[in-house]
Amino acid sequence: MDCPLCKNPMVVLELDCVETDYCTDCGGIWLDAGELEMLFADSAQAGELVSSFKPAEGIAEKPCRCPICLKKMQKIIASSGDKPVIIDRCPKEHGLWFDRGELSQILAKGTFDKERKVIKLLTEMFNQNGNEENNGN
């Protein structure tokens, strides 16, 4: 699968039976439908997070295309506050795209991962050089 942002091939990383697509060039993460639930190992927590997503209006950021169906993805406010986190969601619900650091930012701001299980899992998967956990860009 090619990265929706930089168009380079992504690698599949697996940990604890969760596969994610990761771009080694830009640090983005693609989660197929259902993988967020698998990360949480709790569909209620994942559902709470997804239901908090709101459509983003008037975003200047160029939309990228779903790596599965190639449709333009929707910009979604995944975390509000002083600095909202805007992610991309496939209109056909194939999955979610997180630019470098966005998934960790969302989880760090919310109350969805109180025991930090997902943050620890992401750190193990992506933190070869502090990229996902600590970058925040």
Q: What is the DSSP string of 80-125?
A: -SSS-EEEEE-TTSSEEEE-TTHHHHHHHHSSS-TT-HHHHHHHHH
pLDDT tens, residue by residue, 56-85: 988 888 889 999 999 999 999 987 667 889
Contact assessment for residue 132 and residue 101, using Cβ atoms and an 8 Å cutoff: yes
Which range in 14-23, 31-40, 58-67 is most confidently predicted, on average pLDDT? Answer: 58-67
CB 86 within 8 A of CB 61: yes
How many structural domains are present in the chain? 1
- Residue 4 in any domain: the answer is no
User: Is residue 49 a part of any domain in this protein?
Assistant: yes
Q: Domain of 130?
A: 11-135
Q: How confident is the model at residue 99 (pLDDT cuts 50, 70, 90)?
A: very high
Per the domain annotation, does 3 fall within a domain?
A: no
Residue from 136, 18, 34, 22 nearest 90 by CA = 34
Task: Judge whether 1 lies within some domain.
Answer: no
Look at residue 1 in the predicted model and tell me its pLDDT. 94
Identify the band that residue 21 occupies on the pLDDT scale cut at 50, 70 and 90: very high
pTM assigned to the model:
0.80
Residue 5 lies in a domain: no
Residue 42 lies in a domain: yes
Question: 22 has which bridge partners?
Answer: 11, 29
